[in-house]
């Protein structure tokens, strides 16, 4: 019996990986010349990341599902160990005031938080769908202790964006699997004032919120990035100024090849190009929800909910930030932003989704074959 693959989803992923390489080249070339003396510095590395991501995608989508069901929590545990290692100064790299990266051989680095986000659903699915008879009396206290510890680690780095994403994954999965409403309500009641406190008592976060509400109140500092981003969108018009011809990336728009790469794309390809790219992301999310609905395996369904939630949040928050709809936050756009950790972890997450889809399709094929 032939395995069935979701060809539309696979082709969309491959196209976005290829488009990401082009986008990194376009948005980073001038900056790479000025900062590294080599215009191809970033795109060359992104090509390597793309090949690694494709390898991870292929391995993940073809690995028998029962291995993930058996060792999924271990994958999550390894990502937490890597996250903890970022707090050891000799092993980590500080950038932007945060220790989020681990040193790797050959001058490379990884950001464990990216892998924590896509492996977190394995941990959640384990507690929501598996019987834990020896620990039944302590199951939920243990669950909240472990998940709370992860959120605290992300806060300590600090990585507020990943913290918010993991928190939403936690509650979306708990809600879908009918966790007692008392736990959910209690968590929301506790976390809302906590988030308010974490924003208003930390000067740079509070300044970002003020800049979000009125960028022109601090147009030369906190509001500069979002103003330049909106100017790039405006300059692009309907059809764009042409690939590689954008002006915003010429040191007007900070982080042009990472967090604000969509602003560069909107300027160069216009509303039409932006709409097309967002529709591709929307197609992946739509297919993700289809996979969730068609999956019969409860553990796989829980993992799929977490993965789709994680991917969807990145696709919603990053464009929202560049359009001034959300406060500025260092969150990359899947596939299009420069960065190996983001690209490889996204390929891992979508590989898991394709694996679940293949399992569901083959289950249906067997049912039809046997006349069940």
- Given a cut of 70, is residue 90 above it in pLDDT? yes
Instruction: Give the integer Cα–Cα distance in Å for 320 and 162.
Output: 16
DSSP letter (8 states) at residue 136? G
Average pLDDT across the chain, whole number: 89
Has residue 204 got a pLDDT over 70? yes
Residue 101 domain-assigned (yes or no): yes
Whether 206 is covered by a domain: the verdict is: yes
> Cis (ω within 30 of 0) for the bond into 57?
no
Predicted confidence band of residue 97 (pLDDT cuts 50, 70, 90): low
CB-based contact 171:148 (threshold 8 Å): no
d(CA 305, CA 159): 23
Q: Looking at residue 171, what is its pLDDT?
A: 86
Domain ranges, residue 281? 7-370
Picking from 20-34, 211-225, 355-369, which range would have the lowest pLDDT averaged per residue? 355-369
Question: How many angstroms separate the Cα of 31 from the Cα of each of 21, 40, 93, 321, 330?
Answer: 16, 10, 21, 22, 19
Q: Is residue 258 part of a domain?
A: yes
Contact assessment for residue 309 and residue 173, using Cβ atoms and an 8 Å cutoff: yes
CB 259 within 8 A of CB 331: yes
Domain membership of residue 2 (yes or no) is: no
Residue 266 lies in a domain: yes
360 within domain boundaries:
yes
Question: Tokens representing 214?
Answer: 């009125």
Q: Quick one: what percent of the chain has pLDDT higher than 90?
A: 59
pLDDT for the residue numbered 1: 45
pLDDT of residue 135: 61
Domain presence at residue 249: yes
Q: What is the Cα–Cα distance from 311 to 12, expressed in whole angstroms?
A: 14
For residue 280, is it within any domain?
A: yes
Task: Work out how many domains the chain is built from and give that number.
Answer: 1
Residue 298: which of 94, 129, 87 has the closest Cα? 129
Q: pLDDT digits over 127-172, tens only?
A: 888 876 666 667 777 888 888 889 899 988 888 889 999 999 998 9
């Amino acid at each position: 019996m032939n395995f069935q693959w979701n060809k539309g989803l696979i082709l969309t992923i491959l196209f976005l990986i290829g488009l990401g390489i082009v986008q990194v080249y376009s948005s980073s070339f001038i900056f790479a010349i000025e900062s590294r003396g080599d215009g191809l510095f970033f795109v060359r590395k992104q090509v390597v990341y793309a090949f690694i991501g494709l390898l991870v995608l292929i391995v993940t989508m073809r690995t028998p599902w029962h291995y993930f069901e058996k060792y999924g929590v271990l994958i999550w545990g390894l990502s937490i160990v890597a996250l903890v290692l970022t707090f050891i100064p000799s092993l980590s790299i500080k950038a932007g005031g945060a220790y989020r990266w681990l040193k790797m051989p050959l001058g490379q680095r990884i950001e464990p938080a990216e892998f924590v986000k896509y492996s977190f659903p394995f941990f959640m699915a384990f507690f929501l769908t598996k019987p834990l008879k020896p620990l039944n009396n302590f199951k939920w206290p243990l669950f909240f202790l472990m998940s709370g510890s992860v959120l605290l680690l992300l806060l300590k780095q600090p990585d507020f964006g990943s913290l918010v994403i993991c928190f939403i994954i936690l509650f979306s999965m708990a809600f879908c699997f009918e966790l007692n409403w008392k736990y959910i309500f209690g968590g929301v009641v506790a976390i809302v004032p906590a988030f308010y406190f974490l924003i208003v008592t930390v000067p740079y976060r509070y300044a970002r919120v003020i800049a979000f509400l009125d960028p022109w109140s601090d147009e030369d500092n906190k509001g500069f990035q979002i103003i330049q981003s909106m100017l790039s969108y405006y300059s692009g018009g309907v059809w764009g100024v042409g690939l590689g011809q954008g002006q915003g990336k010429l040191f007007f728009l900070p982080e042009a090849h990472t967090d604000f790469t969509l602003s560069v794309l909107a300027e160069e390809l216009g509303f039409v190009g932006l709409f097309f790219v967002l529709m591709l992301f929307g197609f992946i999310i739509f297919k993700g929800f289809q996979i969730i609905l068609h999956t019969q395996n409860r553990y796989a369904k829980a993992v799929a909910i977490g993965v789709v939630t994680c991917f969807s949040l990145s696709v919603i928050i990053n464009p929202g930030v560049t359009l001034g709809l959300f406060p500025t936050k260092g969150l990359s756009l899947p596939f299009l932003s420069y960065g190996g950790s983001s690209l490889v972890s996204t390929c891992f997450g979508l590989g898991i989704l394709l694996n679940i889809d293949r399992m569901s399709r083959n289950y249906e094929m067997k049912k039809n074959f046997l006349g069940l």
